[in-house]
């Protein structure tokens, strides 16, 4: 019998994180392929040249693509 043990998620809901391409806030997460993936919401900039705002500001990222924002 083989048992897979998934570690606890590295990030939590509401946590601010950075990744290549920007920064955002963790909205949700789920296990996937022996790791975790996170739904990250990117903050809106004051002046956007887009007509629609919605799910295009959220993306799923793997745990290896995200870093914690450290306060200095």
Could you read off the pLDDT of 18-55 as tens digits, one per residue?
999 889 999 999 999 889 999 999 887 666 565 555 55
More confident residue, 7 or 55: 7
Residue 64 domain-assigned (yes or no):
yes
Could you tell me if residue 30 is inside a domain?
yes
So what's the pLDDT on residue 30? 96
The reported pLDDT for the residue numbered 55 is 53
Domain assignment of residue 50, yes or no: yes
> Per-residue DSSP letters for 25-50?
EEEEEEEETTEEEEEEEPPPPSS---
- What's the domain count of the chain? 1
User: Does the structure show a pLDDT above 70 at 1?
Assistant: no
Structural tokens at position 20 = 């290549």
Q: Give the distance from CA 58 to its chain's centroid.
A: 8
């Amino acid at each position: 019998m083989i048992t897979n043990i998934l570690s606890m998620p590295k990030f939590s809901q509401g946590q601010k994180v950075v990744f290549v391409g920007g920064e955002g806030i963790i909205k949700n997460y789920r296990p996937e392929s022996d790791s975790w993936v996170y739904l990250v919401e990117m903050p809106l900039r004051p002046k956007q040249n887009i007509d629609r705002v919605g799910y295009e500001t959220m993306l799923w990222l793997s745990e290896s693509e995200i870093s914690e924002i450290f306060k200095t």
